[in-house]
């Protein structure tokens, strides 16, 4: 049985202790409220209590309060204030032009076209919010997706966070990954997963990211105090400040900007050809490779100061336990001379490593041939000459002699330009050990 109530423009609806489903939809009739379950009226206030699967049609300007319901709740098309308290179910709210407060939501929350949404207490489920102009929340135990918001302020998110087309944002703690796309000024104090960001319009800051950081299309300043994983940034046009990166770092500038970077692993810096910068590089435990036209001011095995172009922008890089490679800025003959000087000892170490690898290759070939001969019933004959695999620079250790075999190695000969090119590729990080073995064997 449907009941109708006549109210003034100051209508209020209070719904309490309902079950299964509660649906409230605004309509154009400014003086009538329709309810399909038992309800009572006190002045301009309509009370619905203990109902099961209740549906209401109310004037759009109605003030609505729903509390203590073990039900899924849907609210659409209201301009008055909406309050949702202690809802043990999923909530869907759409096209709400007044202030909306959601406290202690037990299920998932979907909100679209909301003027203002304030969360209090804990939201237990996921939250998907679209075109919510003002968002403020305390704790979200699930994942959070926000697409379109002028301002976002959240204390804690237990899951992952996706922010797209958002303005000023502050989140104190994110337990999962964070993904930003087309974001304004953003502060993420602690991210315990990975941080991925694209098309940053304004400053991004963070105290700590426990995973990897991947940035693309950075047009504003980025400051991250600590990164426990790797740091990759491409299309960079704004200043970067990352003084504590525990992994590797690869930074690619589209337009030169100040850089302060300190990493424990390897660092690769890609610069535009027209870069004008003052370069400072330190690698106390590794090597410095510069593939750019640069006027050198000061250098030794672990320290380099120089000027690219006319200078000006400060690029400060340090790798505490790895190598530093600087590329771009008009590479030329200066690069090759510098690279050889700083990499000679590096090549020698690779030569020693590959000498050991050569011994393993020789043994593998010898065992393989013996097995093949045994299968054919042919006994291997011993020969007086010897075959060996040698890899390295003149004067370095080479592999010891191995048992003779008739097959000759198909890979490049020791000391050949082809073999040296393999070492060069390894030093540049362009070739891993497995691929190198295949090339040395002539298998690739």
| Nearest C-alpha neighbor of 325 from the set 392, 266, 280, 265 | 266
- pLDDT recorded at residue 440: 60
Spatial separation of the C-alpha atoms in residues 366 and 380, rounded to whole Å: 11
The string of DSSP letters for 370-422 reads HHHHHHTT-PPPP-SS-B----SSTTS--PPPB---SSPP-SPPTT-HHHHHH
Instruction: Tell me which residue has tokens 């065992």.
Output: 367
- pLDDT recorded at residue 298: 84
Burial of residue 392, with CB atoms counted within 10 A of its CB: 0-12 exposed, 13-18 middle, 19 or more buried: buried
Q: Residue 66's beta-bridge partner residues? A: 15, 84
| Nearest C-alpha neighbor of 237 from the set 264, 199, 294 | 199
Residues 6+ apart with CB under 8 A from 383: 404
CA–centroid distance for 277 within its chain: 28
Spatial separation of the C-alpha atoms in residues 102 and 98, rounded to whole Å: 13
Q: pTM for the full model?
A: 0.73
At 287 the three-state DSSP class reads coil
Contact 279, 296 (CB under 8 A): no
| Nearest C-alpha neighbor of 268 from the set 288, 284, 240, 297 | 288
Q: For the chain, give the number of residues.
A: 444
- pLDDT recorded at residue 240: 97
- pLDDT recorded at residue 356: 55
Spatial separation of the C-alpha atoms in residues 421 and 439, rounded to whole Å: 11
Residues 6+ apart with CB under 8 A from 375: none
The string of DSSP letters for 47-70 reads EEES-EEEEEEEETT-EEEEEEEE
Name the CA radius of gyration of the chain, rounded.
Answer: 33
Q: Per-residue pLDDT for the chain (444 aa), expressed as one digit of tens each?
A: 799 999 999 999 999 999 999 999 999 999 999 999 999 999 999 999 999 999 999 999 999 999 999 999 999 999 999 999 999 999 999 999 999 999 999 999 999 999 999 999 999 999 999 999 999 999 999 999 999 999 999 999 999 999 999 999 999 999 999 999 999 999 999 999 999 999 888 999 999 999 999 999 888 999 999 999 999 999 999 999 999 999 999 999 999 999 999 999 999 999 998 899 999 999 999 999 988 888 888 888 889 999 999 999 999 999 999 999 999 865 443 333 344 344 444 444 544 554 555 455 445 545 554 554 455 454 443 333 333 333 333 333 333 433 444 444 456 665 566 765 765 665 555 666 567 656 765 766
């Amino acid at each position: 049985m449907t009941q109708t109530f006549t109210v003034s423009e100051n209508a209020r609806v209070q719904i309490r202790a309902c079950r299964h489903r509660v649906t409230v939809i605004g309509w154009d009739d400014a003086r009538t409220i329709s309810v399909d379950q038992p309800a009572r009226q006190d002045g301009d206030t309509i009370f619905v209590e203990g109902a099961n699967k209740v549906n209401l049609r109310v004037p759009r300007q109605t003030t609505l309060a729903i509390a203590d319901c073990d039900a899924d709740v849907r609210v659409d098309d209201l301009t008055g204030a909406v309050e949702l308290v202690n809802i043990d179910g999923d909530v869907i709210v759409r096209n709400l032009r007044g202030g909306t407060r959601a406290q202690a939501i037990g299920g998932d929350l979907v909100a679209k076209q909301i003027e203002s949404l304030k969360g209090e207490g804990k939201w237990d489920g996921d939250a998907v919010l679209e075109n919510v102009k003002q968002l403020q929340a305390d704790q979200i135990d699930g994942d959070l997706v926000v697409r379109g918001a002028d301002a976002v302020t959240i204390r804690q998110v237990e899951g992952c966070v996706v922010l797209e087309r958002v303005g000023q944002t502050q989140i104190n703690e994110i337990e999962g990954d964070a993904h930003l796309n087309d974001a304004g000024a953003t502060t993420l104090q602690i991210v315990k997963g990975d941080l991925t960001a694209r098309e940053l319009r304004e400053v991004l800051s963070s105290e700590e990211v426990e995973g990897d950081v991947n940035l693309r299309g950075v047009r504003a300043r980025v400051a991250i105090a600590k990164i426990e994983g790797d740091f990759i940034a491409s299309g960079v046009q704004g200043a970067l400040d990352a003084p504590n990166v525990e992994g590797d770092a690869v930074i690619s500038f589209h337009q030169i900007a100040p850089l302060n970077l300190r990493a424990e692993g390897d660092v690769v810096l890609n610069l535009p050809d027209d870069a004008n910068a003052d370069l400072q590089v330190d690698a106390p435990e590794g090597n410095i490779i510069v593939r750019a036209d640069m006027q050198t001011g000061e250098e030794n095995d672990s320290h380099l100061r120089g000027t690219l172009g006319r200078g000006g922008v400060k690029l400060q890089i340090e790798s505490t336990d790895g190598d530093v490679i600087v590329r771009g800025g008009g590479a030329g003959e200066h690069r090759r001379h510098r690279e050889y000087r700083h990499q000679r000892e590096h090549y020698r170490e690779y030569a020693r490593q590959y000498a050991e690898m050569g011994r393993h290759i020789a043994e593998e070939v010898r065992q393989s041939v013996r097995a093949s001969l045994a299968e054919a019933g042919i006994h291997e004959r011993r020969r007086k000459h010897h075959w060996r695999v040698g890899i390295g620079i003149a004067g370095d250790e080479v592999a010891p002699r191995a048992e003779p075999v008739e097959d000759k190695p198909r890979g490049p000969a020791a000391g050949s330009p082809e073999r040296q090119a393999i070492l060069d590729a390894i030093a540049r990080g362009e070739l891993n050990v497995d691929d190198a073995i295949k090339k040395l064997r002539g298998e690739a």
